Structure 1
Amino acid sequence: MQNYKNHIRFYVPHHFIYYPIVGFLFGFTVWQAAKSDEQQVLWVFLTVLVFMVGWASFMMRQHYALTIQNRLVLLEVRFRYYTLTQQRFEVFEHQLTFSQIAALRFASDAEFTILVEKTLKEN
Structure 2
Amino acid sequence: MKTQNYSNHRRHNFMYNYVTFFIVVLLFVSSLYYTYHAHVEGISLRPPLFLLLISFVLLVYFFSAWSFAVKAQDRAIRAEENLRHFVLTGRLLDNRLSIHQITALRFASDEEFPALAVKAIEDDMKPENIKKAIKNWRPDYYRI
Question: What interval of TM-score do these two structures reach, taking the shorter chain for normalisation?
Answer: 0.5 to 0.7
Match of 1:76 among 65, 75, 80: 80
Secondary structure of the 2:121 match is helix
Residue of structure 1 equivalent to 2:106: 105
Note the C-alpha offset of 1:78: 0.3
SS at match of 1:95: coil
TM-score with structure 1 setting the length: 0.63
Q: TM-score, normalised by structure 2?
A: 0.55
The correspondence of residues 23-102 of structure 1 with structure 2, limited to 5 A, is 38-39=43-44, 41-85=45-89, 87-90=90-93, 92=94, 94-102=95-103
Corresponding residue SS for 2:111: helix
Cα 1:34/1:83, change in 2 over 3 Å? same
Instruction: Provide the rounded CA distance (Å) in 2 between the counterparts of 1:57 and 1:119.
Output: 35
Asked which structure has the greater CA Rg, the reply is 1
1:13 aligned partner? none
Structure ranking higher in helix proportion: 1
Question: In the alignment, residue 58 of structure 2 is paired with which amino acid?
Answer: G
Higher RCO (CA 8 Å, separation ≥ 6 residues): 2
**CA distance 1:122–1:38, change in 2 (3 Å):** closer
Amino acid corresponding to residue 60 of structure 2 in structure 1: A
How far residue 38 of structure 1 moved from its aligned partner, in angstroms, is 4.1
What one-letter code is carried by the residue in structure 2 that aligns with 1:118? K
Where structure 2 has 5 or more consecutive residues not aligned to the other structure, the ranges are 14-22, 125-144
Runs of 4+ in 1 over 6 A off after TM superposition: 33-37
> What is the Cα deviation at residue 88 of structure 1?
3.0
Where structure 1 has 5 or more consecutive residues not aligned to the other structure, the ranges are 10-19
State the distance in 2 between where 1:57 and 1:51 align.
10
CA drift of 1:57 comes to: 1.6
